[in-house]
Amino acid sequence: MDRTAQLTARPTEYGIAYAPPAPAASPAPSPTTPLHVRAARVLEANWTGTSTVPSRKLYPHQWSWDSAFIAIGLRHLSPLRAQTELETLLAAQWADGRVPHIVFNPSVPLDAYFPGPDFWRSATAGRAAGAPRTVQTSGIVQPPVHALAVWLVHRADPELSRARGFLARTYPRLAAWHRYLLHRRDLGGGGLVSVVHPWEQGMDNSPCWDAPLARIAPAPARSFRRADLDHGAPEDRPTDLDYGRYVRLAADYRDARYADGGGEFAVEDPAFNALLIASEHALARIAGELGAAGTARHARAERLTAALVERLWSPAAGMFLCRDLRGGGLIPERGVSGLVPLLLPGLPGEAAAALVRTLCGPHFGFGHRTRLVPSHDLLGEAFDPHRYWRGPAWFNTAWLLERGLRTHGERALADALRDAVLELADGTGFAEYVDPYTGEACGATGFGWTAALALDLHHELHQELLKSPGQGVSPSGTGTFDRSDEGGVR
């Protein structure tokens, strides 16, 4: 069969991309509508009945780490719906333990999103790896933030969670997910997990991937059609060349029956591994809630933290860097991924202090040059304030960094970052991402995790104000918010 034809069966005609039916009309928000009401309306509009789409038009299926972040916000509106969000995702888990990065909605037309289920062919190409037969998914994964989300959702309503057996049912799936990553994805032999496609790390077109991707021959442009360009400006999205390389990598992985270890792209990423460590701490908490000892999981999290520092820490850069296992050595690009390990409670103090300096220094400029933390080095040649993960600021990474700053006692900076998230999320209509300098909305609006994480930070602020009467309504200078029960990440 012709190799181009193998990449995807390209339809000859394309209709209008799918948009889920609108829910019952609710009053249009006025300028005085509170942020939490606006955020709740976004999440309601994106709800399908069993899960939440990131964006009604641009991303019409269920995405893995989106659902985890969305559940963290949904827990403040409906703990039951937040539990359902995570249960729906985990029900699509493969027998080898992987949690796929997309769970496809069968009612959505095939041309609404590319690559769709006809590209991934999970039921056939993924049969040896145990892909489910009753639902179609992609074959790659996304960052493992799920155990942390499960723990936070449980804590929102422990009585409901226990009555439904939420932890008892999700814990075995989460444990299998972590086993897959730790046993099948330690491609460098140093204890860390590797990603085999840029989409797995979640920061799709980060300049950190430029060098590893340069070795990949792109799929021919005529072999696929990008549905994302129907809803996003081309100057805000990955280039056609990048997309061609993404398609080639995904097709090769699919054609290898989703077997790990043989691909041309293998990178150890700091954020991916940091989220695994945070989720190991959360799994330890979940185990304790179920009456089992969590000591081994806490110990594993500590070993992974040590491996993260040993393999990915760069004293010269003052942050963590990605390691290219096929090209050798650390990748000399400063991406926001290298700041995310700040959320780890076991991070050495000198590394945490250096990360804070880097966050506020000339490369990321938070607090003086940028309104929200950019996704890439402001001084880097590849920096672009509008193009997807090559510079714009994202709300999920801001949420992670806000947690990290509080974890390491940087209360004033954490307050400032929370203020910026709440202001820009609400002011942009819950944009997918924003220009880090101006706060201008980019990508989709009404974006799921932006609304959810803004809702979470709004709830945190509200709780602080309740604990600190007489302190006024300013987000800054309020009391300490206790996160000691949140998966070991304070």
Q: Is 268 a catalytic residue?
A: no
Q: Is 486 a catalytic residue?
A: no
Exposed/middle/buried for residue 435 (C-beta within 10 Å: 0-12, 13-18, 19+): buried
Nearest Cα neighbor of 88 from 115, 61, 57 is: 61
Catalytic pick among 87, 111, 204, 426: 204
Distance CA 286, CA 181 (A): 19
Do residues 139 and 126 lie in contact, with contact meaning Cβ atoms separated by under 8 Å?
Answer: yes
Q: Which residues pair with 433 in a beta bridge?
A: 394, 442
Catalytic pick among 432, 456, 464, 486: 432
Q: Which residues pair with 323 in a beta bridge?
A: 268, 330
Output the CA torsion sign for 401, 206, 212, 379: negative
Q: Which residues pair with 314 in a beta bridge?
A: 319
Catalytic residue set: 204, 432
